[in-house]
Amino acid sequence: MNYENLIKIIKSNDKSKKAILDLNITEVEIITYISEIFDLTMDYSKNEYQPYLFRDKNGNLKRSQKLTKIGILNEVSSRNMLKNYFEYELPITEKIKLSQKTINSIAEAAKNKISLYIYGNNNIEISDLLILLSNSLTKKNTVSYVKTKDLYNYILQSFNTKINVKNNLINLMIKSDFLFLDEIGYETNKSWFRDDVLFYIISKRIEKQLPTIINSEYPLVVLEKHFSDGKEIRQSKRIINLLNKKYKSLKS
């Protein structure tokens, strides 16, 4: 791979340039830690970041063992994998405004490792609950939580680079003990995202018998229309049939 142009882009970006200057990172080290350094060039809702790379007492560049807050993949110590790409926070005092029956149903599904498709008008409250649940599960499991709209936008941004962000993220989500896909149906409908990302992740996790909890405002019949856009009906039915057969449905 020719890294020359990519190195120029990284060095011209304010965020990555600061990290490179602070740590005196060489071009050889940029190539070695290309995914970590490139990740600093992406746009996030906040400008601060905790450096993922550091120099040890011998002057060697190392990956940090400390969990990061924004935008940096930490394969070493992170249990909540996708939290290093996307930041979702919920105050611990936040009160979840859901019925106890709904909360119990979701908790039981997670406890018994049952894949669940949740839909209904309480999707915002469900999102809050899933954030808390994912945080709780990280104590003993690898957990990935992501909003599908954010996932779509992040992968779309990465298409202009030579770094395989899409495959990295997909592999993380397939391998996680638990996966939470939130607000599905809010993302822009594109066939590549529906087939190569969502369908692929869901089908692979079914093969591996790993639980996935999906939250949406829409019942499956409406989600099917979103995925097909009135044109790709067969492709849309493929993912909906998978959810119908392998997932337990819960109306919130």
Q: What is the mean pLDDT of residues 163-174?
A: 80
Give the C-alpha separation, 180 to 213, whole Å.
Answer: 5
Q: Considering Cα of 182, then 246, then 201, then 137, what sign does the dihedral take?
A: positive
Mean pLDDT rounded to a whole number for the chain: 77
Rounded to an integer, the average pLDDT of 28-39 is 71
Is the model more confident about 108 or about 53?
108
CA distance 116 to 105: 10
What DSSP string runs through 8-73? HHHHHSHHHHHHHHHHT--HHHHHHTHHHHHHTTS--SSS----SEEE-TTS-EEE-SSPPSSS--
Highest average pLDDT, of 47-51, 90-94, 174-178, comes from: 174-178
Find the range with the poorest average confidence among 5-19, 82-96, 184-198: 82-96
pTM over 0.85: no
Handedness of CA 194, 196, 201, 207 (dihedral sign): positive
Q: What is the pLDDT of residue 70?
A: 28
> Coil, helix or strand for 143?
strand
Residues 65-120 have pLDDT tens digits of 433 332 322 222 233 444 444 555 554 445 567 888 888 899 889 989 999 999 99
Q: 109-152 pLDDT, tens per residue?
A: 998 999 999 999 888 889 888 888 887 787 788 888 888 988 88
